[in-house]
Amino acid sequence: MRSLSMAFITAALAVALAAPATAQPAAKRAAPRPAAPAGAAPVAAAPPASPGEGDERCLLAMALLTRDQKNAQAASLAMVFYAGRLSARGLDVPTAVEHAKAKLVPQNIPGEIQRCGPQFQTGMTALQKTFASAPPPAAAPGAPAPAAPSAAATPPPK
C-alpha cells in the first residue's frame, strides 16, 4: 500500500477545487471562501463533533481523491473502509455523505486527508497482521479431505 504523501494531499486539494460548481443549485451554494496562499500548510478542519461525523468527512475526502488516477486505488479502498465504519455505527451511508457535503470546506480537504489517511493505514495494518498470523482455514465441514498422491501416480526417480 502506498503511503500517503504530499502529492496525495495536493491531488485532493486540486480535485476539490476543480469540482464543478454546478453540483448544487445556486441558491444552496455557499459564498466562495478565500483561497489559501500558495505553499501554505493545509488548513486544519475543526475536530469532528462525533466519530460518525469524522468518518463522514473521511469518506467524502477519499471520494474526492478517487478522481485523481494516481491515488484512485488507495482512495477507493479507504472509501470502503469508511463506508464500513459508518454502516457499523448504524448510519445510512448516502445520508452521511449528504451531511458531509453540506459542511464541505474545500480548503479543509488536505487536513482531512492528513487526519484520515493514518487512521485508514492503521486499520489496514491491523487487518494485515491479523490475517498474517491466522492459521490456514480448515476444510469446510463435510468436504472430503484432499487425497494423498498414490505411489502408482508418482513416477520413480531417475
Between CA 57 and CA 109 the distance in angstroms is: 9
114-126 pLDDT, tens digit each: 999 999 999 999 9
Q: Locate the domains of the chain by residue range.
A: 49-134
pTM for the whole thing?
A: 0.59
87-116 pLDDT, tens digit each: 999 999 999 999 999 988 899 999 999 999
Q: Which three cell numbers stand for residue 31?
A: 459564498
User: Does the pLDDT at position 58 exceed 70?
Assistant: yes
1-40 pLDDT, tens digit each: 344 443 444 344 334 334 433 333 333 433 333 344 445 5
Between CA 24 and CA 51 the distance in angstroms is: 27
Tell me the pLDDT band of 146, cut-offs 50, 70 and 90: low
81 contact partners, CB below 8 Å, separation of at least 6: 120, 123, 124
